[in-house]
Structure 1
Amino acid sequence: MSATSTTSRLRLLVPGVAIAALLAVLALALPRASADALAAPATHARHDGHGGHGGAVATVRLPHTAAQLALHDQMRRLWEDHITWTRLAIVTFADGSAGFSPTAARLLRNQGDIGNAIKPFYGDAAGKQLTALLRDHITIAVEVLQAAKAHDATAFASAKARWYANADDIADLLASVNPRFWPQSMMRADMREHLDQTLAEAANELAGDYAGSIADYEQVHTHILAMADLLSSGIIRQLPGRVG
């Protein structure tokens, strides 16, 4: 799907919706947690990546060479772009700003940037597949919001299920190319946490709870940096000869 068609679909979600009703539907997608839990700093427990799932924290290897540092910084920049352009899309959508369409297009471009980043290590096919899945990650999110706007609980449940299934597909692709350091259960948990946090951020922004939305974004930011570090470290540890 092109950036133009996607942003055209997003423009259908314009102001004028009943924010309270929208939030009531979005709330169905959020995990059952207290307001205090949502406001608390994100924790990032990880498995050790060696087949054990007893709650051990994964080892994230810090970069030691110029090439490793470059990969570490690139992965952080790409995933920070992902959450930054997502936030700007949420804010411009909530405000009805004319900047929404180009922001959404830039967000879609980021998905290609992330897919291209893994091509040197896992090949063109894996990179293209990751890009396609990440683009679906964005476009299915549109469907979630469209269903919320229409107060269509059936469509909302369907879109939500497909959005989380897509998150699992992204996690499974990453796990398939690096199962030792990106185990499936850990990657699935990371992707689902990303969706949960983004939904909370959007719901608060649409409700006009800007302080809450900012607090949610801080959680999104903390989590995505940890995830980016896991990805760069996993490549370095799996392919030391490629990132010397």
Structure 2
Amino acid sequence: MGEEKNSACLSSKMVQLKGDMQKVCTRSYIVSAISNRQDQKDVLDRLLRNQQDIGNVIEPYYGEAAGNKLAGLLREHILIAGKIVAAAKAGNQADVKKLDADWHKNADDIARFLSAANPNWQFKALQDMLYTHLQLITELVLDCIKGDWKAYIAVIDKNEIHMIHLADILTEGTVKQFPEKF
């Protein structure tokens, strides 16, 4: 018997896509960078590899060029975040402000790219989700710099829930656009 598909039942392919979409983590890099840990470069390399992994997740649906384009936009997101961490740690507010503007432009580029690829992904909804993510990561960095670990942990929890929600939106939109693949 084939897999039944209805709103209350997820196929194994849907479950796999949801899991793949949820694999995102910048927390380890922030801690390494702020603490000047020796694993900083290795953690950043792994985090950047995650961005290609995410691009690879959409490749079966949108093609190799789209997967690589998304991976590039996500790598830019991580690299800007790394620069923001360094500037914030150094107390260089002018650079933080400029980099934050670059980060929001990158978020706009990601939202624009995704909304153009799938009519189920609305630009404004994605932009709002990404801007919230940027705000949460900013709070995470500032709490880590201040050593406010209770606030830091609370923001980790908020961001994890937020990113799972974003992954769910992307998964649901993909399933709606390509129901024959699920």
Normalised TM-score (structure 2): 0.89
Q: For residues 35-56 of structure 1, what are the alpha-carbon distances to aligned partners after superposition, in whole Å with 9 as ceiling and x for unaligned?
A: xxxxxxxxxxxxxxxxxxxxxx
Is the 1:119–1:126 Cα contact (8 Å) retained in structure 2?
A: yes
Structure 2 equivalent of residue 96 of structure 1: 36
More deviation, 137-146/151-160: 151-160
Pairs aligned (count): 176
Is the 2:73–2:106 Cα contact (8 Å) retained in structure 1?
A: yes
In the alignment, which of 193, 203, 208 is matched to residue 147 of structure 2? Answer: 208
Is the 2:73–2:109 Cα contact (8 Å) retained in structure 1?
A: yes
Q: Answer yes or no: is 1:174 the counterpart of 2:131.
A: no
In the alignment, which of 159, 170, 187 is matched to residue 99 of structure 2? Answer: 159
CA shift at 1:150, angstroms? 4.8
Q: Answer yes or no: is 1:65 the counterpart of 2:11.
A: yes
Q: Answer yes or no: is 1:193 the counterpart of 2:132.
A: yes
In structure 2, relative to structure 1, the CA distance for the partners of 1:210 and 1:237 (3 Å cut) is same
Q: Answer yes or no: is 1:105 the counterpart of 2:45.
A: yes
Structure 1 equivalent of residue 73 of structure 2: 133
Aligned-partner Cα distance in 2 for 1:183–1:63: 24
Any stretches of 5+ residues in structure 1 without a counterpart? 1-60
Q: Answer yes or no: is 1:228 the counterpart of 2:167.
A: yes
Is the 2:115–2:122 Cα contact (8 Å) retained in structure 1?
A: yes
In structure 2, relative to structure 1, the CA distance for the partners of 1:100 and 1:128 (3 Å cut) is same
Is the 1:62–1:233 Cα contact (8 Å) retained in structure 2?
A: no
In structure 2, relative to structure 1, the CA distance for the partners of 1:198 and 1:167 (3 Å cut) is same
Is the 1:148–1:156 Cα contact (8 Å) retained in structure 2?
A: yes
CA shift at 1:156, angstroms? 2.7
* Aligned pairs (5 A) from 1:49-64: 63-64=9-10
CA shift at 1:189, angstroms? 0.4
In structure 2, relative to structure 1, the CA distance for the partners of 1:63 and 1:158 (3 Å cut) is farther
Any stretches of 5+ residues in structure 2 without a counterpart? 1-6
Normalised TM-score (structure 1): 0.68
Higher helix share: 2
CA RMSD in angstroms, aligned pairs only: 1.6
Structure 2 equivalent of residue 74 of structure 1: 20
CA shift at 1:64, angstroms? 2.5
Identity %: 34
Which structure has the higher relative contact order (CA within 8 Å, separation 6+)?
1
Structure 2 equivalent of residue 242 of structure 1: 181
In structure 2, relative to structure 1, the CA distance for the partners of 1:187 and 1:122 (3 Å cut) is same
